[in-house]
Amino acid sequence: MLSELRGGERASGSRGGHAQRIAARSDGAAAFGHVEMLLLHCWWQERLSRNGNSSQFYEWLEVRRPKPMMRDVVANNFDRLGIPTDKGAVEHVHRTYKRLCSYAHTPIRAESFTIKNRGNVGFASVGVLQHWLVLALDVLRVALEQLVHAYPQCLFPVDICRKFGFNPPVGLYFDEYNFVPLAATLGDDAIEIYRARLKDHENVDMATQFYGSRPDLTRDQILEAWQDIDGAVIPVDPTEDPVALWLQSKVRMRAVKMGRTYSDRLGPHWQEDRRGRTG
């Protein structure tokens, strides 16, 4: 989301409207890509969990299968994820997507940087800043609506370290620290509405039961479980704060995850399928 705001910074520092238009178009395309890939992520995750087979995903990844129509993706996500369609929710997704399309596909004159800025001048007007802020909030709303219903356990944070030490199941639970930005963005009222709607979801029930089946670890057991990224046990001061270690482990896990995102090869199905076609 920050890229939209950085576009204003770049534009205000440039000498001429051409650089402004490039910045606005590139940031709009970036926001468009975020929404499109997130919707497709939820769409593919739901299909993979239902079918148990990733062959169609890798066919799509290699452009051997056409991209689904976005209208069908949105309709499927609302249906399969159980997202309520009242209060114009579906229309809001389509409207946000269409507003971003004008920067990534066919330019729309009424949404151009020059028109919104009321001239080809070397600064970003209040109207342009307001446009991008409102659009950024709409993109965020679309993203959270999809993700909260795809991963409803995020609404019910738990003390992960107390049950799993420093080796938790990846991606299954939110802790109080993950929950802070989510609660701040959605607000207390929205959180309670989502909780009431999704408290009986099968993913929430499964995660809750598994969490409850684990014994509570003592402080000594938690400290004994301290490990580095390579899995080698590191001696730890018995007076060390487990919370500080937990936060440190979260930083490490995120760094590893980000590194693997841009370095890991594609999945085994893709590798085997590719060998079969090229061999």
What the block records as the tokens of 212 is 């409850």
Q: What does the longest C-alpha to C-alpha distance in the chain come to?
A: 66
Q: What is the pTM of this model?
A: 0.70
Burial class (CB in 10 A: 0-12, 13-18, 19+), 37: exposed
The amino acid that residue 14 corresponds to is S
Instruction: Work out the angle at residue 116's Cα, subtended by the Cα atoms of residues 19 and 111, and round it to the nearest 5 degrees.
Output: 90
Asked whether the predicted pLDDT for residue 131 surpasses 90, the reply is no
Please report, rounded to a whole number, the percentage of residues in the chain having pLDDT higher than 70: 70
Q: What per-residue confidence (pLDDT) applies to 204?
A: 95
What does the pLDDT read at residue 105?
53
pLDDT above 70: residue 191: yes
9 pLDDT band, cuts 50/70/90, is very low
For residue 5, pLDDT over 80 is answered with no
Q: Tell me the sheet residues that pair with 227.
A: 233
In this prediction, residue 107 has a pLDDT band, given cuts at 50, 70 and 90, of low
Residue 149: what pLDDT? 93
The whole-number pLDDT of residue 121 equals 58
The angle that helices 176-186 and 188-198 make with each other, rounded to 10 degrees, is 110
- Per-residue pLDDT, 147: 92
Residues 168-178 have a mean pLDDT of 89
Q: What is the DSSP string of 74-128?
A: HHHHHHHTT----TTHHHHHHHHHHHHHHHHSS--GGGSHHHHHTSS-SS--HHH
Alpha-carbon gap, residue 67 to 65, rounded angstroms = 7
| φ, ψ dihedrals at 233, nearest 5° | -65, 130
Higher-pLDDT residue of 149 and 239 is: 149
Instruction: Tokens for 23, please give them.
Output: 């910045």
Percent of the chain with pLDDT over 90: 25
Average the pLDDT over each of 34-38, 113-117, 141-145 and give the range with the smallest value.
113-117
Q: Choose between 272 and 218: higher pLDDT.
A: 218
The three-point CA angle 196-177-45 to 5° equals 60
What would the DSSP string read from start to end of 224-276?
HT-B-TT--B----TTS-HHHHHHHHHHHHHHHHHHHHTTPPPPHHHHHHHHH
Residue bearing tokens 């290699």: 62
Report pLDDT for 209: 95
Q: Which tokens is 195 given?
A: 């909780």
pLDDT tens sequence across 41-83: 888 888 887 777 778 888 887 888 888 888 899 999 999 888 9
